Structures are given as structure tokens and as C-alpha cells.
Structure 1
Amino acid sequence: MSNRKTATGVICSVGVIIGIVMNNGQVRTNKAGLELIGNAESCRRDPYVCPAGILTDGIGNTHGVVDGTRKTNEQITADWQKNILEAESCVDKYAAGKKLPDNAFSAAVSIAFNAGCPKIQASTMFQLFRAGKIQAACEQFPRWVYSGGKVLPGLVARREKERELCLSGLQ
């Protein structure tokens, strides 16, 4: 596998990392959810500052990032899997995740991964999930498009994809 070099650093393959995580069999998030998260976050070997002003690397990883340190596929995979499992735990605890259909669960994991559990856990969306009002909960995604008080076009696109995934398969 070759790495492409961009003006912002060396990127890695989201598809390769998804394949490794899926083969590990430890996450519940389905392939569509992993693709949504991975494609929205992208994959970068070198640390960068995300739109929220946080030092980030890999696929949206903000834990233990060291400026100037380039990561391998194995390190990126380990970080991402840990972060996905943390988001899944948040959804299980605060959105009755074990009762959610796979697509709704995976969409909820995506927003928990992106917004962070402390911000999303008391949200109307998670309250609706807990109450079993899945369709109403799915309609909450478009509300989560702000960062630093501004609407970010990337979040608008991501939230619509999360909403669509969440609603897919519901009767």
C-alpha cells in the first residue's frame, strides 16, 4: 500500500483501517457506520489541528496525540478501535444502545465519536433513543452542525448521512 502525500501531510487508507477493525470483531458498529465515521474524519498519519482547535491524528483520534509523531496503520487501528468502543459504550449507557437497531446504533456511535460523550449524553436525541422513539431521535441529527458557534458545512453533510443511516431500515 502506498501513502499519498498532501499539502497537509501523509494520509492513510480509511478502507484498510476499517477492514482491520472489522476483522478484529470487537466493535458492534456496522460497516456503514464505520465508513461514515472514517470518511468524515479521514485518516492522517501526522498530527493536525481539527476545526475545533484540537490536536488530532489517525481517524479523528484526540487521545495521546504527540505533535511531530507519525503513526503506523497498527497504531491508527488501535487508537480508532479504542475510540469506537468508547463511543459505543456511551451509546449503550446513555441512549439504550443495546435496544437500538444496528443502523440507528451505528449513527449514534458516529455522533458520540464526533461530538464526545459529555456533550451528547444528555441531549434530546439520546433521551428520545432511551424512550424508544427512534425515528424522532434520528430527526435530531441536523441540530448538531455547530462548532465554535458556527455552522460547519462538513458537519451539515455528516449529520445528514448520520440521519439517513439512522432512519434506514425503520418501518
Structure 2
Amino acid sequence: MIDFLKRLLMLLSGLSAAPAKSEPVLEVRPEPTLEITPEPVTMGDEGQKVLKYFEQCRLKAYWDATGKVWTIGWGHTGPDVYEGLVITQARADQLLRDRLAREFVPGVLGAVTCSMAQHELDAMVDLAYNIGVVAFAGSTLVRKFNAGDAAGAADEFPRWNKSGGQVLLGLRRRRAANRALFLGASGDAAIKIGVAVT
């Protein structure tokens, strides 16, 4: 009788008594947690290494490779760039951050309809920065990538090697670096691959 009263008191107080041998014991297991890698939403450091290496920051306005467009900083162009313009390094860095955030990263994210890794985004943003968002969005590279053909997309980078209708060694090198970055190389390794192109 005392055992019965003890069990009853424990039950009433919210505590459970040890289960009888005939009662089944339920094992509670924690819910599994999923580790989800978030989609990249900006250009990473490795991509910026490649972009900055090939753009080469210049603080005084200069003509681009075609001799038709005034350029300054990290390849910044536009109506605010004119002959004789000089800027600081801080201004050049800010112009790059602003254009990546406002124009090029959103342009790539808007054109690509499937998941991508950071290194793939980085390579595609650098390409778009160099050729323009409109050309990038309409490219075979984007069509192949969106169709799930990442290898085919990687092979499209070398095709973007012309400026003003002429093949340029600097663009051949940059595209080799873009392709390597797209395939997973670090920024430094991608630059070495690009520089090795002759």
C-alpha cells in the first residue's frame, strides 16, 4: 500500500515513477538538424582578388583598351569619369563596392536561375564586370549553367577574349583565371593559371 501511495504522489506531482517491467519504454531521440549552406549573395574575397589583379587600380582617368572609354579606379566607367579626373584609393575602393552591390552582383543573380557556389558566383560576377550585365545575361555561358551544365558553362569563359573585335592577351589571361575560379581554384591559384597564358 505504501508503494502504491508513493507512486500516486509522484504521478500527481508531475514526476514519473520508474516504469514497470511490463510497460514499454519510449526512447526520445533529438530531431536531426540540417546544415544548409546559404546561397552566396555577394562577391567573395577570392573573386575580388581576381577582379582587382586584372583591373589594376589607377587613380587618374585613362582610356580603356579600346581607346574609347574613360576609366578610373578598379575599371570604373561612366559619365562621372572624364579626362584629368583624379581620385583617392578610398574613393576607388568605394566605387568598386558600390557598383558590385548595385549593378553586377544583382545582375548575375537575376540572370542565373539555379543554385551556385561562391566560387561560381565570383567568376561570373568578374565576367559580368568586364563585359557588362546585358552581354552576360544573354550569354551561352548563362544558358548552359541554368540548364545544369556547369562544365559547359566553364568552357564558355575563354570565348570572351575580345575587345573592339580583337583578341587581347590580357583578356585571354583573365578568362583563364575566371574559368579556374569557376571550377573551384582559389583567387591566387586562378591568377597564376591566368598569368601562365601566353
TM-score normalised to structure 2 length: 0.68
2:172 aligns with 156
Alignment of 1:89-168 (within 5 A): 89-96=106-113, 99-168=115-184
Residue 57 of structure 2 corresponds to residue 40 of structure 1: no
Alpha-carbon offset, residue 132 of structure 1: 2.5
Instruction: Identify the structure with the greater helix proportion.
Output: 1
> Once superposed, what is the RMSD of the aligned Cα atoms?
1.5
**What amino acid maps onto 1:48 in structure 2?**
Y
Alpha-carbon offset, residue 130 of structure 1: 1.8
Structure 1 stretches (4+) deviating beyond 2 angstroms?
none
Residue 70 of structure 2 corresponds to residue 70 of structure 1: no
The 2-side partners of 1:147 and 1:66 are apart by 21
**What amino acid maps onto 1:89 in structure 2?**
P
Tell me the SS of whatever aligns to 2:62: strand
Alpha-carbon offset, residue 94 of structure 1: 0.8
When the two structures are aligned, how many residues end up with a matched partner? 142
The 2-side partners of 1:28 and 1:135 are apart by 23
Tell me which structure has the larger Cα radius of gyration: 2
The 2-side partners of 1:50 and 1:74 are apart by 21
Residue 42 of structure 2 corresponds to residue 28 of structure 1: yes
| Structure 1 gap segments, 5+ residues each | 1-26
Q: Which deviates more from structure 2 when the two are superposed, residues 63-72 or residues 113-122?
A: 63-72
| Structure 2 gap segments, 5+ residues each | 1-40, 186-198
**What amino acid maps onto 2:175 in structure 1?**
R
